[in-house]
Every structure is written in structure tokens, then in C-alpha cells.
Chain A
Amino acid sequence: DGGITQSPKYLFRKEGQNVTLSCEQNLNHDAMYWYRQDPGQGLRLIYYSQIVNDFQKGDIAEGYSVSREKKESFPLTVTSAQKNPTAFYLCASSKGAGAEAFFGQGTRLTVV
């Protein structure tokens, strides 16, 4: 089945630790995205990548980092510099930057 896989579904970390969220797609899409969703805030773009080995900051990139070494993979690292990391994180992909986006099922990160 084609789709986007995010793992893990739930993640718990201690404050001050970096954590990496996985996102893999087998849709052969060029573009991939990371969003953060908090109650009442909608989807906020963290980073996006339109091609391998290239990515751009979104609206709330501070405290996050990404890499795009393979077309299929776009991992997100939440660093200790992120002040409020507890949130629901969504990965998405599309054929191109302005095309319909397809989402994974999300990772809920809780930092204690």
C-alpha cells in the first residue's frame, strides 16, 4: 500500500533531550513537510523540502532540524532548544509544493 508512515505514534522524552521523529513515504513524491498541531492553532509549518538534499524553514522552525538525504525519508529532530515541544506532529508529502498533500497519522510527542 502506498502511503506515509510516521513512527512512533506516541513518544515520551525527558526535558533537555533531543528526539527524532521518523517519516517515510512510498508515493514517489518530491515534496515533504512537517507540521505541528496544537489545540486551537491549526497546522503550523515547521520545515519543508521540495527536493533531495534541500529544505526550507517554515513558520516555526526554531528548535527543530531536518534532513533529506533520500527521497523517501524526511526525519525531524526536536532539539532541546525548542521551548514547548509537547505537541502533535504531522508529516505530509505531495508531488510538488502546490499540489495536494497527503498526511501520515501523526506522532504525539510528550516531553516531561
Chain B
Amino acid sequence: QKEVEQDPGPLSVPEGAIVSLNCTYSNSAFQYFMWYRQYSRKGPELLMYTYSSGNKEDGRFTAQVDKSSKYISLFIRDSQPSDSATYLCASPSGNTPLVFGKGTRLSVIA
């Protein structure tokens, strides 16, 4: 079983919609979580990270962690066509490289 699971989508929404992207994880040792955004044919870029349960907000983006259910969410408000990308969740496990989900492909239609 992969340690971070993510629905690959694709997810298609109209411009202005609220988008919810989700991951589940199995390793209770995961202490903090990251979201990366990857545009087509580009490298992933770090979007947000959060250290603990609860919410972290940055502009139109909110990251949420529920440690009791091992559930990670990224919400995008007022989605724009420029948000169309693949979104990957990730978490470190001790002194080892980040464990990534497979990514969810999002399309925001104008």
C-alpha cells in the first residue's frame, strides 16, 4: 500500500468554482504536509505546507489536515483557468525523501 493516496482525476470545474483536492495517508509518523502544483511539461513548485492539524490559508488557497482521519485537503476558492495543473500532496517520513501522491489533474474551464 502506497503511503500517500490521491485520486488522479481528472477533475474539471467551471471558472469561479470552489475546488477540493484530497489525499489520504497511512503513516502516523507524518508530521507535516505539502502541496505542490505542476503545470504541463514543467517541474512541480511548492504551493503550501502545513505542520499540524487545522487550516492554513494563503490567498485563494487553504490547506487542511485532519490527523484523526489521516486526511489532507487543498481548497481553491474562485478557481481560475490559470489554476489548471496537476496538484501533488507530499509528506516527509523521518530522514527520508518526501513521499508523494500520484497527483490530481485539475482543469478550470472559462
Binding site for B on A (CB under 8 A): 4, 6, 31, 33, 40-43, 45, 48, 50, 58, 88, 90, 92, 94, 96-106, 108
Q: Pick the contact of A48 from B8, B46, B90, B97 — CB < 8 Å?
A: B97
Q: Check A90 against B49 for contact (C-beta < 8 Å).
A: no
Given contacts A40-B8, A99-B92, A100-B46, contact A108 B41 (CB under 8 A): yes
Q: Check A98 against B95 for contact (C-beta < 8 Å).
A: yes
Q: Check B42 against A42 for contact (C-beta < 8 Å).
A: no
> How far, in angstroms, from A98 to B91 measured CA to CA in the complex?
8
Show 23 residue pairs from A and B whose CB-CB distance is below 8 angstroms, ordered by the A residue. Answer: A33-B97, A42-B102, A43-B44, A43-B103, A45-B97, A50-B95, A58-B97, A90-B44, A94-B98, A96-B95, A97-B92, A97-B96, A98-B98, A100-B49, A101-B90, A101-B97, A101-B98, A102-B46, A103-B44, A103-B45, A105-B42, A105-B43, A106-B41
Nearest neighbor of A105 in chain B, beta-carbon distance: B43
List, in ascending order, chain A residues with CB within 8 A of B44's CB. Answer: 43, 90, 103
> Which secondary structure characterizes the binding site on chain B?
loop
Q: Check A41 against B102 for contact (C-beta < 8 Å).
A: yes
> How far, in angstroms, from A92 to B43 measured CA to CA in the complex?
9
B59 in contact (CB, < 8 A):
no
Q: Interface size on B (CB < 8 Å)?
A: 23
CB distance from A54 to the nearest CB of B (A): 13
> How far, in angstroms, from A92 to B36 measured CA to CA in the complex?
13
Q: What 1/0 flags go to B82-110 for Cβ under 8 Å of A?
A: 00000010101111111011110000000
> How far, in angstroms, from A41 to B101 measured CA to CA in the complex?
9
B74 in contact (CB, < 8 A):
no
Nearest neighbor of A102 in chain B, beta-carbon distance: B46
List, in ascending order, chain B residues with CB within 8 A of A101's CB. Answer: 46, 90, 97-98
B21 in contact (CB, < 8 A):
no
